Amino acid sequence: MPVKDLSPSLERRKLVTKPFSRADKVFYGITKAASGMAVAIVGLILVFLFASSWPALQAQGIDFITGSTWDSSQDPGVFQLGPMIWGSFLIAFNGVFLAVPMAISIAYLIVFMLSSRMAKIATVLIDLLASTPSIVIGLWGFIVFAPIAAHWAELLNRYLGFLPFFKVETENFLGSPFIAGWITAVMIVPIIASVTREIFSQMDRDLINAGLALGGGRASTFFRIILPTSGGGIVGGTLLGFGRALGETVAILFVLNIVFDYNWFNVTKPEGGSVASMILSKFGEAGPAEIEALLASGLVLFVITLLVNWLAAFIVDKAQPWRK
């Protein structure tokens, strides 16, 4: 007589991933529509910029990206964006170079050293800095910080002037990418610190405690355990800040002397470039042809920023596999 199998079924249950109640369906539909609308707005902005700037792109050709002349008095006008693109990258690199150590230090302080109450206060203050309008930071930089940073640039020129990065032949140290980099760093520190703080807070504390129990100090634990584990997320947050720095406009306009010439590496030289600030400075008095060129400049900056932000989101997602 065959024996009936009474063992429980081991069939894998299928988890419900879609909303099943009416309230959940409504909420799911609203959030899906809102996210789709955001993507559609970005796409429409891209289409508008491309359609509006196509005549300028067609007239200037590849020289629009690589050339170094911007002259609306000629007929036809010559509009070339090369020095401004490189200047934007130079300022952004300076800002990231200065901001990353500050952001990592802030995140480490909040997550691993402060009490819960003090950590909340510090987090609020950092988030408040992120919400400060750029024009306020620009005015502060122009009135208060620029003379201080110019003195620092003078010291760099005096003691490290044998390096091409800091060699300046004039006595003017205002309006340099060095000062603009500091202002940019102030604006992107909260972004990088926020992402880094999130990565640090999700790390396995047992792993950190094991390193300390084996005799490691705070410094060795940080450099050998915390930093290698969270490196991908920090890089992603840094790229997010880098994308923010590329598009900064008003604050840079206040502290940078915009010159249409390549300043390759001399950060203390009182000349530089920024695509966003250049657009702002010229848009009010531009003619029809120049407006098309300025819109083309905005298109180039928009595409670069999108690519940087996409790369940052990809890296942050890969650095946090436990969230999937």
- Average pLDDT on 260-279 reads 90
pTM: 0.86
93-147, pLDDT tens digit by residue?
Answer: 999 999 999 999 999 999 988 898 999 999 999 988 888 898 999 999 999 999 9
Q: For residues 104 and 127, give the distance between their C-alpha atoms in angstroms, rounded to a whole number.
A: 15
- Contact partners, residue 100, CB within 8 Å, separation at least 6: 192, 234, 238
| Total count of residues recorded for the chain | 324
Report the chain's mean pLDDT, rounded to a whole number: 87
4-13, 109-118, 266-275, 290-299: least confidently modelled range: 4-13
Which of helix, strand or coil describes residue 19?
Answer: coil
Within the chain, residue ranges assigned H as helices are: 22-60, 63-66, 82-108, 116-130, 134-140, 146-160, 177-201, 205-213, 218-221, 227-246, 250-255, 275-283, 288-319
For residues 108 and 200, what is the distance between their CA atoms, to the nearest angstrom? 7
In sequence order, the β-bridge partners of residue 79 are 70
Mean pLDDT of 302-312: 88
Rounded to 5 degrees, φ, ψ at 80 are -135, 135
Nearest-angstrom CA–CA distance, 264 and 280: 23
Higher per-residue confidence, 311 vs 15: 311
For residues 305 and 70, give the distance between their C-alpha atoms in angstroms, rounded to a whole number: 23
List domains and CATH numbers for the chain: 83-323 (1.10.3720.10)
